[in-house]
């Protein structure tokens, strides 16, 4: 693994995809998902221009956070969060990407000591194995979610099925973007909905085409 080459390639690929999609420069942030590597390798990324770190599990998040918290970094918790673990982690998180139920939102409201930026996770493809609100569930939940004032709903997050074709990816990401815009138009004060967390190593291109502002990249950095 050549970390420098990989990192340069990832940034170049994201830049190319952004240009091809007609996006303005620097509208897509790259989150390095460091769940595959130890602290020393995550730390090596920082001198290569990485500013966003993502982890999908609470214990791994806290390990990286405690080791690297003195750096100027933005911290993303990107994976499913159990309600009983909210209190252990939520106040260290800059962005939480997997808000997938009203009950979890209520727990975040209760345990946070400041406003937490959150992505509502949607399961557009209705895959059994994936977490997230369906479109209908989310629209129905908006009033109660909006009443939780320790949460800023910055946008939507989605994960496409592993085996999705390019056509299916385009459908899923477009539907997510459409739903983002539908909610944004409601102009709910704590739901600015300006961001989209979509795209991983294998599907960042389609995601950027459909307005993603945060791509979550793991494998491509560390292969």
Q: Which stretch binds ligand PLP (CB under 6 A): 40-48, 148-156, 174-182, 199-207?
A: 199-207
Longest dimension (CA), the chain: 48
Number of residues counted as binding ligand PLP (CB under 6 A)? 13
CA angle 144, 90, 188 (to 5 degrees): 30
Residues 6+ apart with CB under 8 A from 178: none
Out of 73, 78, 124, 138, the only residue in the binding site for ligand PLP (CB under 6 A) is 78
Pick between residue 174 and residue 202 the one whose CB is nearest to ligand PLP: 202
Q: Which stretch binds ligand PLP (CB under 6 A): 120-128, 133-141, 172-180, 196-204?
A: 196-204
Does residue number 35 form part of the binding site for ligand PLP (CB under 6 A)? Answer: yes
Q: Which residue in the set 18, 34, 56, 180 belongs to the binding site for ligand PLP (CB under 6 A)?
A: 56
Cβ neighbours for 96, distance < 8 A, ≥ 6 positions apart: 76, 77, 81, 90, 108, 116, 117, 118, 119
Separation CA 8–CA 31 (nearest Å): 14
Interacting residues toward ligand PLP by CB under 6 A: 33, 35, 56, 78-79, 200-202, 216-220
């Amino acid at each position: 693994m050549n970390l420098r080459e990989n990192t340069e390639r990832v940034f170049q690929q994201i830049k190319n995809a952004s240009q091809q999609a007609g996006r303005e420069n620097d509208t897509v942030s790259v989150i390095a998902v460091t769940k595959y590597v130890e602290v020393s390798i995550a730390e090596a990324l920082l001198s290569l221009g990485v500013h966003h770190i993502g982890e999908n599990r609470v214990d791994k998040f806290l390990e990286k956070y405690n080791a690297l918290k003195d750096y100027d970094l933005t911290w993303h918790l990107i994976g499913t969060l159990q309600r009983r673990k909210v209190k252990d982690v939520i106040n260290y998180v800059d962005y939480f990407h997997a808000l997938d139920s009203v009950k979890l939102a209520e727990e975040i409201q209760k345990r946070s000591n400041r406003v937490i930026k959150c992505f509502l996770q949607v399961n557009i493809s209705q895959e059994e194995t994936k977490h997230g609100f369906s479109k209908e569930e989310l629209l129905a939940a908006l009033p109660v979610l909006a009443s939780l004032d320790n949460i800023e709903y910055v946008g939507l997050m989605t994960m496409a099925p592993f085996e999705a074709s390019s056509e299916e990816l385009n459908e899923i990401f477009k539907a997510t973007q459409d739903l983002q815009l539908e909610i944004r138009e409601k102009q709910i004060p704590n739901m600015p909905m300006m961001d989209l967390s979509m795209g991983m190593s294998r599907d960042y291109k389609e995601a950027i085409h459909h307005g993603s502002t945060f791509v979550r990249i793991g494998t491509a950095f560390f292969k």
